[in-house]
Every structure is written in structure tokens, then in C-alpha cells.
Chains A and B, each alone.
Chain A
């Protein structure tokens, strides 16, 4: 991986972020009812609305509002929320950290479960284990997240009393409590990820096991375990990295529903609230952060490729 490659990726990230911000801004301009209306609610008299709109800068032409916002963002100032009058940047980043907690835990759980399951299914192709595992995978992706969340909460919290049904506790304040409260949301998110990754792992492992160099390795007389772990796995993992990178987009989006049900004050929920309240600075900041996270993850995924397969070079 050369420096030139890294710089190109960073420029790409900047480009992505700019396009996203323009697109989101354009959409927010067409949103009916604005923040002033949302804030004043039933008490919006024409004078009050006018006064508040002037104060929030909503009267300026669109390009001016955007330019104003963009010029602040490059210095790290995401502006102030139209609802709470608190600075948006720190709030959004705090929310992001909590969402990332769920996301990263889900990815780790997924890898720990889906990779071995996929390999096992591939090794026992056509047999009962394979069919069973595939079936569970299909079920996992066939229910919307809020249904999966509801069913898991019903089973593990309401009926078996193993886990708390909802709520967020910061692991920094109370580690055990934090982990227990994260278990259900992480499980829910992982269900879909595991299904994807497992099927991908299975088909890739099957592919790789038939490839020439695996046959060569077997002919060389290498023990099956070495064949499996040293050679097959490495190559099967590559597309898994792709799938995870692609799924980050789903993760960031699907997390909106998870955060709503499990009362996690993450970035998905912050965006929901911001959209309902037409809080433009918060919508912009939230969308931007999500886009940046997505691009960053993709870049990291590409770097992981290079690590996994020394044949891949970036220059």
C-alpha cells in the first residue's frame, strides 16, 4: 500500500462526504414544514415564525445557507441544534460512539459465529448440518429487524428473564450492566449479518476447496488441518471482508430501528429525532458522520484485503 494510494483514498473520502452533504442538504430544503414550525408547534403565529426563522437563518437562500454551514464544518464546527441549542458536533460524536459499540460488537460476534458455521456447512455439504445451517440463515434474513428484535426480547427478556428488554447503560459506568443491556441489540443486528456472512463463507469455502492449489496442497501430503487453516480459510475470508464492508451500510441504517426499540441513544435515533424536528444542522451532521464511517470502513476493508492476500497490491 503506497502513500499515493492512501492519499487517493482520502481525496475520495472527501469527495464522498461533499456529495453526501450536498445531496442531504438539497433534500432538507424540500422538506415540508421547517424547524421553526416544529419548535413553535401550536403556538406558531406568523410573527413568531418569522422571528424564529430569522434567528435560525432559515430565510437565507439555499446556497448561502449551505456555504455558511460548509465553511463552519471545515473548521470542525457543526453548528448548534435548532432544537436544543446545544453544539451538534459533540452530541453526534457521542451518539456515534454508542452506535459503534453496537456495530463493532455485532461484527465481532458475527465473525466468531458465522465463519466457523460457514466452514462447517461447507465441509458437511449436502448433509443435515449443511441444510440446517442454511435454513437458519434464510430465516434470519426473512424477518424485518424490528420483528426479530421483538421476538428475541420476548424470549430472552420477558419469558426467560435472562437479559434486560431495553435500555442503555454505559459500559464505562457499569461494565456488566452495560454488556447485559447490549446483548439483545447486538444479537438482533447479528442475526442478519450472521446469515449473510455464513452463506458467503460457505460458498467461498466450497469454491476454494475445489481449487487447484488446495488439491496441490493435499497431494503434497499436508495434514488436512493445515490445508484448511493455512490456505483455504485465508482465501475464503476475502469476500467475507467485502460482505462486511457492504453490510456496514445496512448496519448504520438498520441501527435506527434497533436504537428506537432498545432505547440506545445512538446516531440512528438522533437522526430520526432530527428529521422529525427538521433540525437541519443535526440532520446534516448525522448523515455526514454516517457517510464518513461508511467510506472509512470500506477503506479499512481494502487494507484488510491487502493484508489477507499478499498478491493484491495497491499503488
Chain B
């Protein structure tokens, strides 16, 4: 693990990615303590105030301090994206590995159905699910997890197919181990690397998908300080208070770039043969 980290830091992408991630993690962990104001405190006289000593990043249409909202909103934005991606990857990985294990006809059937589900575009799937489950960040997370699962299943399956043909798996089958045991104990651990890489990159998609769902009105609901919702709300006041739009957009970009870079860095670090 530490070896992986050192390799990661050595690469410029890994280094920048981890630094940005550290910033984001800081906001998530200590956000509320760093926030000078309560994120939902409205202030009639301070509406649309420009960035200055009273509001470091300015104030929005309710007079709420944007910096405070960013700090507190980190907790609504990033962990949600992580959970959604993790859940989607977990489900997808199990499907993918299971399909590879069973092989043959079952594999065909599972994968064809999986591809069929993938034929529904992610955003559309998320929209349908949120309309069914109801608006809100939690349901949006579930919807995104379900939307991600088929893609992860696909990625996992192709790696798992290789693993399936390894000796240790064949030995386990010969020993008479049960399917579940083989899937979870022999195969899954060995497909971790690609899953982790793919998931890390997907976290950035999840952050943006969340923001888009908030823009369409079905993600996080007011008065939450989720970054995507902040951007969506700030759009209509863009001409009066551009800072209300810029600050959360930059925050989202930082988080997305962080995960992207780390994902790329991991891919390079875990595949030493590619000297890039």
C-alpha cells in the first residue's frame, strides 16, 4: 500500500491529484469548523455582496456566505459521490466476476442483459429512478449507483475472464470450493486493481452527474449546500453575482480533477511496464 502511494506521488499526475484530494478531504473533514458563518443563515442586507472581508467568496441571493456553504457542502457533495460510485462498483463487480466465473451460456446471457441495461443512457436512467424514488440527494445517489453498475460490470468481467483461467482458480474449482467462495475469495481480490482505477475516475463523473441532477431539479434540494445545487441556483443570478457561480464550479472542478488525476496516476503506478 505504501509502496503504491510512493509510486503514485512520484508521478506528476499522482502528486497533483493527491494534493488536490487533500484539499477536498480537508474541506470534508473540517469544513464546518472552518466555516465563518452558518451555511443556511440568510442575511437580507447582505444579498449579492461581492467578495470582501465580510464574505471571502461573496454572498448569494439569500445573503448566505458562499465560502461557508462550500466548506459545509463538501460533506454533501464528495462523500455522496463516493458512496454512489462505491455502491455501483460493488454491484457491478459482483455481476461481472460472477458472470466470468460461470462462463459459457450464463456469461453470454448475463452480459447481453447487462449491455441492454447499459443502452439506457446514464442520465436518463438516473432521471427515471429519481422520478420514481423521489427527489433528494439520497435517492440521487441510489440512482447514480444503479446507473453505474452495468459499466463496471463490463470492465470487471473482461479482467475477471483472465483471472478465471489462472491456475489458482482452477485449483480451487478442483478442490470443490463453492462458487461464492471462489468469486469472493479468489477472483475478486485479483481484479481489484482495474476496479479501483475505473472507480476512481468514475467518482468525478458521479460528482458531475449529481450536479446535473441538481440542475434539473431532482438532485439535492434547497437549502442544502451541495456544490451542484449551488451552481444550478447561481446560474440565474450570474450577471449580478458571478462569484456565486464561479466558486462552487471551481470546487467541483477541483474535486473532479483530483479524482481523475489519481485514477490516471494509479493506472500508471499499477502498470509499471508503461513508461509514460
Interface residues of A (CB under 8 A from B): 12, 15-20, 23-24, 27-28, 30-32, 125, 138-139, 141-147, 150, 154, 203, 206-207, 249-254, 256-257, 260, 268, 271-272, 275-276, 283, 287, 290-291, 294-295
Contact = CB atoms under 8 A, between A and B. Distances in A.
A27 B128 contact: yes
Contact of B119 (A16, A145, A203): A16
B42 interface: no
Given A145-B212, A249-B119, A249-B122, A150 B257 contact: no
B208 A143 contact: yes
B116 A249 contact: no
B238 interface: yes
User: Which of B132, B134, B204 has the most chain A CB atoms closer than 10 A to its own CB?
Assistant: B132
Interface residues of B, number: 41
A154 B238 contact: yes
Nearest to A147: B249
21 contacts: A15-B116, A16-B112, A16-B115, A20-B120, A31-B131, A125-B276, A142-B252, A143-B256, A144-B231, A146-B232, A147-B211, A147-B245, A203-B276, A251-B121, A253-B121, A256-B123, A256-B124, A260-B216, A272-B216, A287-B124, A290-B124
B87 interface: no
A144 B205 CA distance: 9
Contacts of B117: 19-20, 23
A12 B118 CA distance: 13
Instruction: Report whether over half of chain A's contact residues are helix, strand or loop; otherwise say mixed.
Output: helix
B132 A143 contact: no
Contacts of B122: 249-250, 253
A27 B215 CA distance: 22
Nearest to B109: A15
Contacts, number: 129
Contacts of B225: none
B124 A252 contact: yes
B145 interface: no
B13 to A, nearest CB: 9
Interface in B221-245: 228, 231-232, 235, 238, 245
B113 interface: yes
Given A141-B260, A252-B124, A253-B121, A19 B116 contact: yes
Contact of A271 (B119, B124, B129): B124
B212 A141 contact: no
Interface of B: 112-113, 115-125, 127-129, 131-132, 134, 204, 208-209, 211-212, 215-216, 228, 231-232, 235, 238, 245, 249, 252-253, 256-257, 260-261, 274, 276
B119 A294 contact: yes
Given A15-B116, A290-B120, A142 B129 contact: no
Contacts of B204: 141-142
B123 A254 contact: yes
For the complex of A and B, the 9 pairs showing the least CB-CB separation, nearest first, are A253-B121, A253-B123, A19-B116, A291-B119, A142-B256, A16-B116, A142-B253, A144-B208, A252-B121
A144 B112 contact: no
B215 A291 contact: no
Contacts of B276: 125, 203, 206
A106 to B, nearest CB: 15
User: Which of A16, A28, A139, A271 has the most chain B CB atoms closer than 10 A to its own CB?
Assistant: A16
A257 B216 CA distance: 8
Nearest to A207: B274
